[in-house]
Structure 1
Amino acid sequence: MSYIKLSNDQIDKVGNSIIYLSEKIGELSKTKALKLIYILDELSIKKSGIPFFNLKYKVWKFGPVSEEIFIDLSSETTLLKDYIERTSEEGVTVIRPIVDFNDDEFSDNDIDLLDFVIEKFGDKTAKDLVYYTHRKNSPWHNTAKENSVLELLEKEEINNTELLIDMASLINHDERKKVVYSDYIESN
Protein backbone atom coordinates (compact mmCIF):
# COMPACT_ATOMS: atom_id res chain seq x y z
CA MET A 1 0.00 0.00 0.00
CA SER A 2 1.31 3.41 -0.93
CA TYR A 3 1.75 6.08 1.70
CA ILE A 4 0.37 9.54 0.98
CA LYS A 5 0.85 12.36 3.45
CA LEU A 6 -1.57 15.23 3.18
CA SER A 7 -0.20 18.73 3.68
CA ASN A 8 -1.50 20.94 6.49
CA ASP A 9 -3.05 23.18 3.82
CA GLN A 10 -4.92 20.20 2.32
CA ILE A 11 -6.17 19.10 5.74
CA ASP A 12 -7.24 22.66 6.59
CA LYS A 13 -9.06 23.06 3.27
CA VAL A 14 -10.82 19.66 3.53
CA GLY A 15 -11.78 20.32 7.16
CA ASN A 16 -13.14 23.78 6.47
CA SER A 17 -14.91 22.62 3.30
CA ILE A 18 -16.74 19.95 5.31
CA ILE A 19 -17.67 22.64 7.86
CA TYR A 20 -18.94 24.95 5.09
CA LEU A 21 -20.92 22.15 3.44
CA SER A 22 -22.40 21.10 6.80
CA GLU A 23 -23.40 24.66 7.67
CA LYS A 24 -25.18 25.13 4.31
CA ILE A 25 -26.59 21.63 3.67
CA GLY A 26 -27.06 20.35 7.19
CA GLU A 27 -26.01 16.98 8.49
CA LEU A 28 -23.57 15.10 6.25
CA SER A 29 -23.13 11.34 6.16
CA LYS A 30 -19.60 10.05 5.67
CA THR A 31 -20.41 8.88 2.13
CA LYS A 32 -22.01 12.18 1.14
CA ALA A 33 -19.03 14.13 2.53
CA LEU A 34 -16.58 11.90 0.60
CA LYS A 35 -18.54 12.31 -2.65
CA LEU A 36 -18.82 16.10 -2.30
CA ILE A 37 -15.06 16.33 -1.66
CA TYR A 38 -14.39 14.40 -4.86
CA ILE A 39 -16.93 16.45 -6.85
CA LEU A 40 -15.24 19.69 -5.71
CA ASP A 41 -11.90 18.42 -7.08
CA GLU A 42 -13.49 17.18 -10.32
CA LEU A 43 -15.39 20.39 -11.03
CA SER A 44 -12.43 22.60 -10.10
CA ILE A 45 -10.14 20.77 -12.52
CA LYS A 46 -12.77 20.90 -15.27
CA LYS A 47 -13.30 24.63 -14.68
CA SER A 48 -9.74 25.90 -14.33
CA GLY A 49 -7.26 23.02 -14.53
CA ILE A 50 -6.44 23.55 -10.84
CA PRO A 51 -7.55 20.94 -8.26
CA PHE A 52 -9.59 22.11 -5.28
CA PHE A 53 -7.83 19.81 -2.79
CA ASN A 54 -5.37 17.90 -5.00
CA LEU A 55 -6.21 14.60 -3.32
CA LYS A 56 -5.53 11.17 -4.83
CA TYR A 57 -8.67 9.15 -5.54
CA LYS A 58 -8.90 5.38 -5.79
CA VAL A 59 -11.35 3.23 -7.70
CA TRP A 60 -13.50 1.62 -5.01
CA LYS A 61 -16.98 0.16 -5.19
CA PHE A 62 -18.47 3.36 -3.78
CA GLY A 63 -15.53 5.41 -5.05
CA PRO A 64 -13.91 7.55 -6.19
CA VAL A 65 -12.43 7.79 -2.72
CA SER A 66 -9.55 9.62 -1.09
CA GLU A 67 -8.30 6.75 1.05
CA GLU A 68 -6.74 9.07 3.63
CA ILE A 69 -9.97 11.00 4.16
CA PHE A 70 -12.04 7.78 4.11
CA ILE A 71 -9.91 6.25 6.86
CA ASP A 72 -10.09 9.46 8.90
CA LEU A 73 -13.89 9.54 8.65
CA SER A 74 -14.23 5.81 9.35
CA SER A 75 -12.10 5.20 12.42
CA GLU A 76 -10.72 7.53 15.05
CA THR A 77 -10.59 10.96 13.46
CA THR A 78 -7.00 12.21 13.53
CA LEU A 79 -6.34 14.36 10.43
CA LEU A 80 -9.61 16.28 10.76
CA LYS A 81 -9.93 16.14 14.57
CA ASP A 82 -9.69 19.94 14.88
CA TYR A 83 -12.61 20.43 12.48
CA ILE A 84 -15.21 17.71 12.83
CA GLU A 85 -16.57 14.92 14.99
CA ARG A 86 -18.10 11.65 13.87
CA THR A 87 -21.13 10.02 15.39
CA SER A 88 -23.08 6.97 14.36
CA GLU A 89 -26.83 7.20 13.97
CA GLU A 90 -28.77 4.09 12.94
CA GLY A 91 -25.68 2.60 11.33
CA VAL A 92 -24.82 5.78 9.40
CA THR A 93 -21.67 7.76 10.21
CA VAL A 94 -22.62 11.43 10.55
CA ILE A 95 -20.05 14.23 10.31
CA ARG A 96 -20.56 17.40 12.36
CA PRO A 97 -18.40 20.52 12.59
CA ILE A 98 -16.88 21.35 15.97
CA VAL A 99 -15.56 24.81 15.00
CA ASP A 100 -16.76 27.64 12.79
CA PHE A 101 -15.80 27.87 9.13
CA ASN A 102 -12.46 29.62 8.50
CA ASP A 103 -12.00 30.99 4.98
CA ASP A 104 -8.21 31.57 5.16
CA GLU A 105 -7.50 28.83 2.58
CA PHE A 106 -10.27 29.92 0.19
CA SER A 107 -10.34 32.29 -2.76
CA ASP A 108 -13.57 33.91 -3.97
CA ASN A 109 -13.59 31.31 -6.77
CA ASP A 110 -13.34 28.53 -4.15
CA ILE A 111 -16.37 29.88 -2.29
CA ASP A 112 -18.25 30.22 -5.58
CA LEU A 113 -17.47 26.57 -6.39
CA LEU A 114 -18.55 25.43 -2.91
CA ASP A 115 -21.82 27.33 -3.37
CA PHE A 116 -22.32 25.82 -6.83
CA VAL A 117 -21.77 22.30 -5.47
CA ILE A 118 -24.23 23.00 -2.64
CA GLU A 119 -26.81 24.30 -5.11
CA LYS A 120 -26.39 21.43 -7.59
CA PHE A 121 -25.68 18.49 -5.24
CA GLY A 122 -26.65 19.60 -1.72
CA ASP A 123 -30.08 17.99 -1.79
CA LYS A 124 -28.87 14.73 -3.36
CA THR A 125 -28.60 11.55 -1.33
CA ALA A 126 -25.29 9.73 -0.88
CA LYS A 127 -26.63 7.09 -3.27
CA ASP A 128 -27.41 9.78 -5.90
CA LEU A 129 -23.86 11.10 -5.57
CA VAL A 130 -22.35 7.62 -5.95
CA TYR A 131 -24.42 7.22 -9.11
CA TYR A 132 -23.22 10.62 -10.38
CA THR A 133 -19.54 9.84 -9.77
CA HIS A 134 -19.97 6.44 -11.48
CA ARG A 135 -21.70 7.86 -14.58
CA LYS A 136 -20.59 6.55 -17.96
CA ASN A 137 -17.33 8.18 -19.12
CA SER A 138 -16.61 9.63 -15.66
CA PRO A 139 -12.99 9.28 -14.52
CA TRP A 140 -14.07 6.50 -12.07
CA HIS A 141 -15.97 4.61 -14.79
CA ASN A 142 -13.19 4.97 -17.38
CA THR A 143 -10.41 3.94 -14.98
CA ALA A 144 -12.39 0.91 -13.79
CA LYS A 145 -13.22 -0.09 -17.36
CA GLU A 146 -9.67 0.42 -18.71
CA ASN A 147 -8.29 -1.76 -15.90
CA SER A 148 -10.92 -4.51 -16.28
CA VAL A 149 -12.43 -4.07 -12.81
CA LEU A 150 -15.70 -2.30 -13.69
CA GLU A 151 -17.73 -5.50 -13.88
CA LEU A 152 -16.09 -6.89 -10.72
CA LEU A 153 -17.03 -3.73 -8.80
CA GLU A 154 -20.55 -3.60 -10.23
CA LYS A 155 -21.17 -7.26 -9.40
CA GLU A 156 -19.68 -6.67 -5.93
CA GLU A 157 -17.04 -9.35 -6.47
CA ILE A 158 -14.48 -6.82 -5.20
CA ASN A 159 -15.05 -3.62 -3.23
CA ASN A 160 -11.82 -1.70 -3.67
CA THR A 161 -8.68 -1.40 -5.79
CA GLU A 162 -5.36 0.40 -5.54
CA LEU A 163 -6.02 2.04 -8.93
CA LEU A 164 -5.62 5.82 -8.90
CA ILE A 165 -7.99 7.92 -10.97
CA ASP A 166 -6.22 10.08 -13.54
CA MET A 167 -7.77 13.45 -12.79
CA ALA A 168 -5.94 14.95 -15.80
CA SER A 169 -8.29 12.92 -18.00
CA LEU A 170 -10.97 15.53 -17.17
CA ILE A 171 -9.15 18.09 -19.30
CA ASN A 172 -7.50 16.00 -22.04
CA HIS A 173 -9.42 18.05 -24.62
CA ASP A 174 -8.07 21.42 -23.40
CA GLU A 175 -4.36 22.12 -23.95
CA ARG A 176 -4.34 25.29 -21.81
CA LYS A 177 -5.91 23.55 -18.82
CA LYS A 178 -3.57 20.56 -19.26
CA VAL A 179 -0.58 22.92 -18.93
CA VAL A 180 -2.12 24.67 -15.90
CA TYR A 181 -2.85 21.27 -14.26
CA SER A 182 0.61 19.91 -15.01
CA ASP A 183 2.31 23.05 -13.64
CA TYR A 184 0.15 22.92 -10.51
CA ILE A 185 0.93 19.22 -9.86
CA GLU A 186 4.67 19.79 -10.38
CA SER A 187 4.77 22.74 -7.98
CA ASN A 188 2.74 21.06 -5.19
Structure 2
Amino acid sequence: MYDVFKIVNWLRVKNNADMKRNENVEELTQMKAMKLLYYIQAASLVVTGKRMFNENLVAWKYGPVVERVHEKYRGQRAIVGEITDADLDDYSELEQDTNTADILNSIYDIYGYSSAYDLMRQTHKEKPWQETKQSEIISDEAIKNYYSGVFEVEA
Protein backbone atom coordinates (compact mmCIF):
# COMPACT_ATOMS: atom_id res chain seq x y z
CA MET A 1 0.00 0.00 0.00
CA TYR A 2 1.30 3.44 -0.92
CA ASP A 3 0.97 6.87 0.60
CA VAL A 4 -1.75 8.68 -1.32
CA PHE A 5 0.60 11.61 -1.99
CA LYS A 6 3.01 9.31 -3.87
CA ILE A 7 0.13 8.52 -6.20
CA VAL A 8 -0.77 12.22 -6.50
CA ASN A 9 2.88 12.91 -7.35
CA TRP A 10 2.76 10.16 -9.99
CA LEU A 11 -0.28 11.90 -11.52
CA ARG A 12 1.45 15.30 -11.35
CA VAL A 13 4.64 14.03 -13.04
CA LYS A 14 2.66 12.17 -15.73
CA ASN A 15 0.49 15.22 -16.44
CA ASN A 16 3.53 17.52 -16.51
CA ALA A 17 5.21 15.30 -19.12
CA ASP A 18 1.98 15.21 -21.17
CA MET A 19 1.71 19.02 -21.10
CA LYS A 20 5.27 19.32 -22.41
CA ARG A 21 4.50 16.95 -25.30
CA ASN A 22 1.09 18.35 -26.19
CA GLU A 23 0.02 21.98 -25.71
CA ASN A 24 -3.65 20.93 -25.69
CA VAL A 25 -3.30 18.88 -22.49
CA GLU A 26 -4.84 20.68 -19.51
CA GLU A 27 -3.00 20.93 -16.22
CA LEU A 28 -4.18 18.45 -13.60
CA THR A 29 -6.72 20.03 -11.26
CA GLN A 30 -7.54 19.03 -7.71
CA MET A 31 -11.00 17.84 -8.79
CA LYS A 32 -9.61 15.71 -11.59
CA ALA A 33 -6.95 14.23 -9.30
CA MET A 34 -9.72 13.18 -6.87
CA LYS A 35 -11.63 11.36 -9.60
CA LEU A 36 -8.46 9.67 -10.86
CA LEU A 37 -7.61 8.57 -7.30
CA TYR A 38 -11.12 7.12 -7.04
CA TYR A 39 -10.74 5.10 -10.23
CA ILE A 40 -7.21 4.02 -9.26
CA GLN A 41 -8.51 2.74 -5.93
CA ALA A 42 -11.41 0.99 -7.67
CA ALA A 43 -9.10 -0.72 -10.16
CA SER A 44 -6.74 -1.77 -7.38
CA LEU A 45 -9.61 -3.28 -5.37
CA VAL A 46 -10.82 -5.20 -8.43
CA VAL A 47 -7.42 -6.33 -9.77
CA THR A 48 -5.49 -7.01 -6.55
CA GLY A 49 -8.26 -7.27 -3.96
CA LYS A 50 -6.44 -4.58 -1.95
CA ARG A 51 -6.40 -0.82 -1.65
CA MET A 52 -3.59 1.03 -3.38
CA PHE A 53 -3.68 3.72 -0.67
CA ASN A 54 -5.12 3.70 2.83
CA GLU A 55 -7.25 6.87 2.77
CA ASN A 56 -11.01 6.57 2.49
CA LEU A 57 -12.96 7.99 -0.40
CA VAL A 58 -15.77 10.25 0.75
CA ALA A 59 -18.91 11.10 -1.23
CA TRP A 60 -18.96 14.87 -1.62
CA LYS A 61 -21.23 17.05 -3.71
CA TYR A 62 -18.86 17.03 -6.70
CA GLY A 63 -17.98 13.34 -6.43
CA PRO A 64 -15.51 11.16 -4.53
CA VAL A 65 -12.80 12.94 -2.52
CA VAL A 66 -9.75 11.98 -0.47
CA GLU A 67 -9.97 14.51 2.35
CA ARG A 68 -6.20 14.64 3.12
CA VAL A 69 -5.48 15.49 -0.52
CA HIS A 70 -8.22 18.13 -0.48
CA GLU A 71 -6.69 19.69 2.65
CA LYS A 72 -3.22 19.87 1.09
CA TYR A 73 -4.45 21.54 -2.10
CA ARG A 74 -7.28 23.60 -0.57
CA GLY A 75 -7.85 26.75 -2.60
CA GLN A 76 -5.75 25.55 -5.54
CA ARG A 77 -7.29 24.61 -8.85
CA ALA A 78 -4.27 23.36 -10.78
CA ILE A 79 -1.95 21.19 -8.69
CA VAL A 80 1.00 20.20 -10.90
CA GLY A 81 3.21 23.12 -9.94
CA GLU A 82 6.96 22.59 -10.01
CA ILE A 83 8.10 18.98 -10.29
CA THR A 84 10.84 18.22 -7.75
CA ASP A 85 13.35 15.38 -7.54
CA ALA A 86 11.21 13.90 -4.75
CA ASP A 87 8.18 13.91 -7.09
CA LEU A 88 10.25 12.16 -9.77
CA ASP A 89 11.44 9.62 -7.17
CA ASP A 90 7.80 8.85 -6.25
CA TYR A 91 6.97 8.42 -9.95
CA SER A 92 9.94 6.07 -10.48
CA GLU A 93 9.11 4.01 -7.39
CA LEU A 94 5.54 3.40 -8.56
CA GLU A 95 6.64 2.68 -12.14
CA GLN A 96 9.05 -0.01 -10.85
CA ASP A 97 6.17 -1.94 -9.24
CA THR A 98 4.73 -3.66 -12.33
CA ASN A 99 1.24 -4.30 -10.92
CA THR A 100 0.94 -0.76 -9.60
CA ALA A 101 2.29 0.77 -12.81
CA ASP A 102 -0.18 -1.28 -14.87
CA ILE A 103 -3.12 0.01 -12.82
CA LEU A 104 -1.92 3.63 -12.78
CA ASN A 105 -1.16 3.73 -16.50
CA SER A 106 -4.39 1.96 -17.44
CA ILE A 107 -6.53 4.37 -15.42
CA TYR A 108 -4.59 7.36 -16.77
CA ASP A 109 -5.01 6.10 -20.34
CA ILE A 110 -8.77 5.59 -19.84
CA TYR A 111 -9.66 8.65 -17.73
CA GLY A 112 -6.64 10.96 -17.72
CA TYR A 113 -7.66 12.88 -20.82
CA SER A 114 -11.24 13.54 -19.71
CA SER A 115 -12.06 16.87 -18.11
CA ALA A 116 -12.63 17.11 -14.37
CA TYR A 117 -16.23 18.07 -15.12
CA ASP A 118 -16.78 14.99 -17.32
CA LEU A 119 -15.28 12.74 -14.65
CA MET A 120 -17.49 14.35 -12.00
CA ARG A 121 -20.56 13.73 -14.16
CA GLN A 122 -19.47 10.14 -14.71
CA THR A 123 -18.99 9.40 -11.00
CA HIS A 124 -22.45 10.86 -10.36
CA LYS A 125 -23.95 8.24 -12.71
CA GLU A 126 -22.27 5.35 -10.90
CA LYS A 127 -23.79 3.47 -7.95
CA PRO A 128 -21.01 3.76 -5.34
CA TRP A 129 -21.32 7.56 -5.25
CA GLN A 130 -25.10 7.58 -5.80
CA GLU A 131 -25.79 5.12 -2.99
CA THR A 132 -23.53 6.77 -0.40
CA LYS A 133 -24.89 9.65 1.68
CA GLN A 134 -23.04 12.91 1.21
CA SER A 135 -19.96 13.27 3.44
CA GLU A 136 -19.92 9.55 4.22
CA ILE A 137 -17.26 7.02 3.24
CA ILE A 138 -17.82 5.10 0.01
CA SER A 139 -17.22 1.50 1.09
CA ASP A 140 -14.54 -0.64 -0.52
CA GLU A 141 -17.21 -3.31 -0.94
CA ALA A 142 -19.52 -0.99 -2.90
CA ILE A 143 -16.61 0.13 -5.08
CA LYS A 144 -15.31 -3.38 -5.72
CA ASN A 145 -18.77 -4.84 -6.41
CA TYR A 146 -19.64 -2.11 -8.92
CA TYR A 147 -16.31 -1.91 -10.74
CA SER A 148 -15.86 -5.68 -10.96
CA GLY A 149 -18.29 -5.34 -13.85
CA VAL A 150 -16.37 -2.40 -15.35
CA PHE A 151 -12.67 -3.26 -15.07
CA GLU A 152 -11.54 -6.51 -16.64
CA VAL A 153 -8.92 -8.61 -14.91
CA GLU A 154 -6.58 -10.47 -17.21
CA ALA A 155 -6.14 -14.08 -16.21
Q: Which has the higher contact order (CA 8 A, sep 6+)?
A: 2
Fold in common (TM above 0.5): yes
Structure-1 residue corresponding to 2:30: 30
- Secondary structure of the 2:135 match is strand
Aligned to 1:98: 83
Counterpart of 2:103, as a letter, is L
Q: Match for residue 152 of structure 2?
A: none
1:60 aligns with 2:49: no
Please list, as runs of the form range in 1=range in 2, the aligned pairs for 1:115-154 lying within 5 A after superposition: 115-137=105-127, 139-144=128-133
RMSD between superposed Cα atoms in Å: 2.4
2:143 is aligned to 170
Rounded Cα–Cα distance in structure 2 between residues aligned with 1:134 and 1:48: 25
Q: Deviations over 1:144-165 (max 9, x none)?
A: 3xxxxxxxxxxxxxxxx43111
Which residue identity lines up with residue 84 of structure 2 in the other structure? Answer: V
* TM-score w.r.t. length of structure 1: 0.61
- Normalised by the length of structure 2, the TM-score is 0.73
Contiguous gaps of at least 5 residues in structure 2: 20-26, 147-155
Change (3 A) 1:135 1:110: same
Change (3 A) 1:34 1:123: same
**Higher gyration radius (CA):** 1
Query: Identity, % of aligned pairs?
Result: 27
- What displacement does 1:16 show? 2.7
Q: Which structure features the higher share of strand residues?
A: 1
Counterpart mapping for 1:173-184 below 5 A: none
Letter of the 2:131 counterpart:
N
Q: 1:16 to 1:33 in 2, by over 3 A?
A: same
Q: In 2, distance between residues paired with 1:11 and 1:118?
A: 16
Distance 2:5 2:122 in 1: 26
Question: Structure 1 residues 136 and 170, CA, compared in 2 at 3 Å: closer, same or farther?
Answer: closer
Aligned CA distance change for structure 1 residues 104 and 128 (closer, same or farther; 3 Å): same
SS of the aligned residue for 2:73 comes to helix
For residues 140 and 109 of structure 1, the distance between their equivalents in structure 2, rounded to whole angstroms, comes to 26
SS of the counterpart of 1:143? coil
Unpaired segments of 5 or more residues in structure 1?
A: 1-6, 76-85, 87-92, 145-160, 174-188
